[in-house]
Structure 1
Amino acid sequence: MLILLPPSEGKAADGSGPAVDLAALAFPELAKPRKALMAELGRLAKGRAATALTVLGLSPNQAAELEANRDLATAPTLPAADRYTGVLYDALDLPGLRHDAPEAYARAEARVLTFSGLWGVVRPTDAIPAYRCSGGVTLPKAGSVAKLWRQALTPALAPVVANGLVVDLRSSAYAAMWRVPADVADRAATVRVLHERLVDGVPKRSVVSHFNKATKGRLARALLVGDVAADTPKELAVALQDLGFRTETAAPAKPGTAWTIDVVVDSVA
């Protein structure tokens, strides 16, 4: 089983590890685009702040976040498990697993892939510096980050998705960086989280960021702690129900596309 996650906009600052070693990161064949993006983000951060903020989709109040991109090649690092913070990663709590449930953390090392606008994909143990680059940006030189990574990740990920279930918890910006191949679709499940509430006595569903991220973090953690061994989307849906999640499963709308599993939460989730 592979569990695909988005990164978090929020990241732990600083770090205690040595500078990033591109050859030591998972999927070292991605070193060339990683190096090019690091260089462009560094140039952008050292240039006109207003331009950098616009390109990266940041507000003037977020200007301090540009500093992380200035010296990416020499900045101190942290494992991705510690670098990514925010609602999803707080609920997943990889550092807690590492301390309290080492077997579950070992499963995370093997099964969790975090997609990143800068790194493409990383595993929890990959040592990376703080940075700011979402998967939806278009850079002046590199162009669309999503397109760049789609071209690089398609061959890079082919061996790791050749067998087993793919559980896709990514947001749309990161789903655009790698699309489930048609020959993998029958064993891939896109998981959506829907918030259900009563409006004038009628159930209404919507996507609410907090519920979405927190539930995905809890779900990923439950799969790792429970050592769930589902091989198909249907088996995954049953396993999630056994773990206490309310699920609804939909078969692919057309051949070559992934299954959909909706996890429904209410206001007290």
Structure 2
Amino acid sequence: MLVLLPPSETKADGGRGAPLDHAALSFPELNPTRAKIADALVELAGDVPASIAVLGITERQAGEVTRNAQLWTSPTMPALRRYTGVLYDALDVKSFTRAGLEKAHRRLAVTSSLFGVVSATDPIPAYRLSGGNSLPALGTIRGMWKPALEPVLQNIEGLVVDLRSGTYSAFANLRPDAVTVRVVTENARGERVTVSHFNKAYKGRLAHVLAVTRAEPSTVDQLAKVIRKAGLTVERTGDHALDLITEG
């Protein structure tokens, strides 16, 4: 089983790992595209006003440009510790046992504008690049990744659970049998509607459950059973679709 997570705009500072080395990352087929994007991002960082405009940030966030300038020299840390925010708070990687971390490395992967996709423990630096950005030297990030990333993700064996956001889903289509999960709530009329406020938190909780479970689900029904056993409410809504129902 592989669970695909979205990244986060916010990222932890620092790290104790050696500087970025693409050879240390999973999915080595992506390294040529990774290198092109990294080099273009570092080059762009030489022009702070241009970087601010391209990245869609404010002058008060100019420190993000410094991160990009130091992409090849700054320390790294495991991807699940680098990404921060609501989803990753709910994932709660700090609570994982050693065995849980080993499972997470096999089962969790993060989509990324800079790296395409990385495994949970891949060592990455802090950076700023969003899925909707375009780099002057390369064009849209989506356009860069789709031809490189799609065949890699479609060749993954076993059950694939897609928790990506819309922006990152556009990077690559998955196999038709990949399981999509929608976070919903029921309104006063009993209708199910997608939610935004709890979306990331519930996806983080779900990712935690799937990372540490002793089970090895290989079908949609087995996946749903694991989720329900963990106390979450889930319902199958299609051949390869689940609704994760929030409490309100």
TM-score (norm 2): 0.92
Matching of residues 247-262 of structure 1 within 5 Å:
247-251=234-238, 259-262=240-243
The gaps in structure 2 that reach 5 residues or longer are none
Q: Which of 211, 214, 217 is the aligned partner of 2:204?
A: 217
The Cα shift of 1:206 comes to: 4.0
1:34 aligns to what SS in structure 2?
helix
Distance 2:215 2:8 in 1: 25
2:198 aligns to what SS in structure 1?
helix
Amino acid at match of 2:183: V
Does residue 195 (structure 1) correspond to residue 176 (structure 2)? The answer is no
Distance 1:30 1:114 in 2: 14
The Cα shift of 1:164 comes to: 1.4
Q: 2:41 corresponds to which residue? A: 41
2:184 aligns to what SS in structure 1?
strand
Answer yes or no: is the 8 Å Cα contact 1:17–1:127 preserved in 2: yes
Q: Which of 127, 133, 146 is the aligned partner of 2:129?
A: 133
The Cα shift of 1:44 comes to: 1.7
Q: 1:86 corresponds to which residue? A: 85
1:205-264 per-residue CA deviation (whole Å, 9 max, x = no partner) reads: 444434111111111111222223221223322332222222222225xxxxxx221111
Matching of residues 63-74 of structure 1 within 5 Å:
63-74=62-73
Answer yes or no: is the 8 Å Cα contact 1:87–1:210 preserved in 2: no
Q: 2:143 corresponds to which residue? A: 147
Amino acid at match of 1:34: R
Answer yes or no: is the 8 Å Cα contact 2:78–2:122 preserved in 1: yes
Amino acid at match of 1:85: T
1:209 aligns to what SS in structure 2?
coil
Q: 2:113 corresponds to which residue? A: 117
Distance 2:191 2:55 in 1: 34
Distance 2:194 2:172 in 1: 22
2:84 aligns to what SS in structure 1?
coil
Does residue 165 (structure 1) correspond to residue 159 (structure 2)? The answer is yes
Distance 2:213 2:31 in 1: 34
Answer yes or no: is the 8 Å Cα contact 1:81–1:95 preserved in 2: no
Answer yes or no: is the 8 Å Cα contact 2:82–2:124 preserved in 1: yes
Q: 2:171 corresponds to which residue? A: 177
1:170-221 per-residue CA deviation (whole Å, 9 max, x = no partner) reads: 101111112113xxx23x21111113343xxx34544443411111111111
2:208 aligns to what SS in structure 1?
helix
The Cα shift of 1:45 comes to: 1.9
Compute the RMSD of aligned alpha carbons: 1.8
Does residue 21 (structure 1) correspond to residue 21 (structure 2)? The answer is yes
The Cα shift of 1:137 comes to: 1.6
Q: 2:61 corresponds to which residue? A: 62
The Cα shift of 1:114 comes to: 0.6
Distance 2:227 2:78 in 1: 28
Q: Which of 214, 223, 229 is the aligned partner of 2:216?
A: 229
TM-score (norm 1): 0.85
The Cα shift of 1:143 comes to: 1.2
